[in-house]
Structure 1
Amino acid sequence: MSIPVLILAGGMGTRLKSVVPDLPKPLANISGKPFLWWLLKELSEQGITEVYLSVGYLHEQIQEFFGDHFQKIKINYVIETEPLGTGGAINKACKVINQNRVMIMNGDTFASINLAAYVQFAEKNPNQKVLLATYKITDSSRYGTVIVNESNVLTNFLEKGNAGEGLINAGVYILDKTVFDEYELPEKFSFETDFLAKYCSYLNIHAYGDVTDFIDIGIPSDYQLAQTKIPSMVSHIE
């Protein structure tokens, strides 16, 4: 698969400090392997051949562990010398990625999604500059939710705390990087809050709902669940 994947792996993992105090979050142990190992394994199994890792906090540990290759994947590093936020990190990385379209993944969530089908959907909709994968969850109170219209276009982002069934952002995007050229953006900003939510009515963000499972390792309770769940999710893409 020719699309490059950018993984946002530069966060400090503040919520996980109690269980992984001395590691960058992507190296958090999941059943004997770093979380990022499982994510890269899944990407390799699905035919991804080039990954960009946006790294910052304790990035030397990540580089030492993975080097410049993982199975069939070439790994490139984009290093933040200071925290830029998710948006700043994406914008910085996009300047060194050659292709116009890039898939973006959060470095602390794992979604079961058929990437080839996702890319094919993007190719059939070339005018969509931002695509966002969503996951339907029975209790969305821990997550911000997204609202879509009958055409599956996002119309609103809601804050955490809305109980009941809802659609959540699964943290897997396909982005035409030229979309950033249309807006005046600071060096440091949140992709989710300061870009997607702020400009939602202009961006025409299309929701892609074919995510069959999802987990966020960002809090200790889900981190414990991930020990068994993530290994069972790898290579189980329908």
Structure 2
Amino acid sequence: MVLAAGLGKRMRPITDTMPKPLVKISGKTLLDWGLDSLTEAGVTKAVVNVHYLPGQIVSHVAGRDAPKVVISDESERLLDSAGGIVHALPELGKAPFYIVNADTFWIDAGASNLARLALAWDAAKMDILLMLADIKSATGHSGGTDFLMAPDGALRRSKGDPAGLIYAGAAIVHPRLFEDAPAGPHSLNAYFDSAIAAGRLFGMAMHGRWITVGTPDAIPLAEAAVAGALEHDPEKLQAFRARSCEKTKN
């Protein structure tokens, strides 16, 4: 599930004419950064929700071969993070699935972080598994930390504790979490808290550089972070350039 339905108000004036997920960083849209990560982790189908200027996103993903993209239309009513997931559940199925925010991305260091997240998933003890970033490895983040992680991976709110980690905008959830969920707009944060109370919210620290793009000023910082992360990995840099060229041709 790729959450791409936000209004992107802080990205104005760029988002006056385009939805935020189509803002480009280093020649690639934020949405494609997320979809490419899902493809690299073996995902074959992604549900992308849309609300603001939805036709642009629909047209953009029509050119992708992988993963197969299914649009979840929220044109008439923005449903927030959890509401959007509940609306898309018929397409998401009954197995655990990834959630990826369309305004954050990362440069893997070594193995795919989403693949590592899947290996860390344990449905017997988890309802939600969050990918987390160290604040020192983050670009564009202006807030504090989100969670403190115990040695076994269990999470609790950090309340800004500098020893905590940042939610990196990617997770695995089990659909049973939404069995009694309301159909209207509501946030995932409430589910994080209920999972903490039940002892079923866990985390995994990602490897590499995490990048969030909230305002126009964050774009050059993000592009510098991409360049810096890739320059030390020639193989990954070559693959990135090849994919970017292929998308330009398409």
TM above 0.5: yes
Distance 1:32 1:155, change over 3 A: closer
> Does 2:81 align with 1:86?
yes
Q: Which amino acid aligns with 2:125?
A: N
Structure 2 counterpart of 1:76, one-letter code: V
Distance of 1:31 and 1:178 partners within structure 2 = 38
Structure with bigger strand share is: 1
**Matched residue of 2:92: which SS?**
coil
Q: 2:212 corresponds to which residue?
A: 216
Aligned to 1:179: 177
Can you give the 5+ residue segments of structure 1 that lack an aligned partner in the other structure? 1-5
Residues 54-93 of structure 1: matches in 2 within 5 Å? 54-67=49-62, 70-80=64-74, 81-93=76-88
Distance, in Å, in 1 between the alignment partners of 2:77 and 2:95 is 26
Identify the match of residue 200 of structure 1 among 196, 203, 213.
196
Question: Is residue 25 from structure 1 mapped to residue 20 from structure 2 by the alignment?
Answer: yes
Which consecutive unaligned segments of at least 5 residues does structure 2 have? 231-235, 238-250
Q: Is the 8 Å Cα contact of residues 128 and 205 (structure 1) preserved in structure 2?
A: yes
Q: Is the CA contact (8 Å cut-off) linking 2:211 and 2:222 kept in structure 1? A: yes
Q: Identify the residue that residue 110 of structure 1 maps to in structure 2.
A: 105
Indicate yes or no: 2:143 matched with 1:142.
yes
Taking a change above 3 Å as real, the CA distance of residues 198 and 101 of structure 1, as seen in their structure-2 partners, is: closer
- Whether contact under 8 Å (1:155, 1:200) holds in the other structure is yes
Report what 1:34 is aligned to.
29
* TM-score normalised per structure 2: 0.79
Residue identity over aligned pairs, in percent, reads 25
- Match in the other structure for 1:190: 187
Question: Judging changes above 3 Å, is the alpha-carbon distance between structure 1 residues 143 and 95 closer, same or farther for their aligned structure 2 residues?
Answer: farther
Farther off after superposition, 204-213 or 183-192: 183-192
Aligned partners of 2:26 and 2:212: how far apart in 1? 15
How many residue pairs were aligned?
Answer: 224
Q: Which residue of structure 2 lines up, in the alignment, with residue 152 of structure 1? A: 153
Q: CA deviation at 1:203?
A: 5.3
- Deviation per residue, 1:128-161 (Å, 9 max, x gap): 1211111111387614411222322112253xxx
For residue 233 of structure 2, what is the aligned residue in structure 1?
none
Could you list the structure 1 runs, at least 4 aligned residues long, displaced by more than 6 angstroms after superposition: none
Aligned-pair distance for 1:125?
4.7
Provide closer, same or farther for how the CA distance between residues 127 and 149 of structure 1 changes in structure 2, counting only shifts above 3 A. closer
Q: Normalising by the residue count of structure 1, what TM-score does the alignment of the two structures yield?
A: 0.82
